[in-house]
Amino acid sequence: MRSRIVAVVSLVVLCSAASPPPKPKTIAPELFPHTVAMFLSNLSADGKQRVAFKAIAFGTYFFFEEPTGVSVYQFDGAGYRRQSFLKGKTLAQVLAKYKVPPKPKTASGKTKP
């Protein structure tokens, strides 16, 4: 009995050691347009300030949440131009105001791109 337990434990240890470690999850895309890279660099004060934000695009609107509030942009035919800044609001509050429906979830629980 003891030899079976030792064999099973050894097999489990060998299998776990043989499997490669999982890749770290990254959110950064493979490519950045130059304008986006410069915007993010400016936003983080050339790496001196930690940045946390959320963003969503819906129809002709783009919503950008940062700790102080949400910027609302509207597409002008060439790009998104800031329409307003809603100080102290969260992304969820602004999306409810603009009646943006939630994205549908797939069977795996993740939203469709």
The string of pLDDT tens digits covering residues 40-79 is: 889 888 889 888 888 999 889 999 998 889 999 999 988 8
The pLDDT of residue 52 is: 82
- How far apart CA 106 and CA 113 sit, in angstroms, is 10
Contacts of 72 (CB under 8 A, 6+ apart): 61, 62, 63, 82, 83, 84, 85, 86, 94, 98
pTM listed for this prediction: 0.62
The string of pLDDT tens digits covering residues 82-113 is: 999 999 999 999 999 998 887 777 665 555 55
The pLDDT of residue 66 is: 87
- How far apart CA 97 and CA 82 sit, in angstroms, is 17
pLDDT classification of 22: cutoffs 50, 70, 90: low
